[in-house]
Amino acid sequence: MKIPEQSEIGDRELATSPDKQFALLEAAYASKEEEVIDQTLYLIVDVRRQLKQGLLDWIENE
């Protein structure tokens, strides 16, 4: 299952843009597939955590 619009949004952009997060969640819920919804929620939580912990900077510099 592919998360809707995932390939079009970078991690940093997703972590910093509530509008992008909402659009991604909206697309996931529109799919009505539990696995897609779960993956989307996890993706958003994960990139926000990475940003707050400074991991995105570390990953981008590697």
- 10: number of CA atoms within 13 Å, CB side? 7
Q: What's the whole-model pTM score?
A: 0.78
Alpha helices of 1-62 — where are they, by DSSP H?
11-16, 18-31, 34-52, 55-61
Counting beta carbons within 10 angstroms of the beta carbon of residue 23, is it exposed (0 to 12), middle (13 to 18) or buried (19 or more)?
Answer: middle
Q: Pseudo-torsion of CA 25, 26, 31, 33, nearest 10°?
A: 40
Residue 35, by phi and psi: left (phi above 0), alpha (psi -120 to 50) or beta?
alpha
pLDDT digits (tens, 9 = 90+) for 7-58: 567 888 889 999 999 999 999 999 999 999 999 999 999 999 998 888 877 7
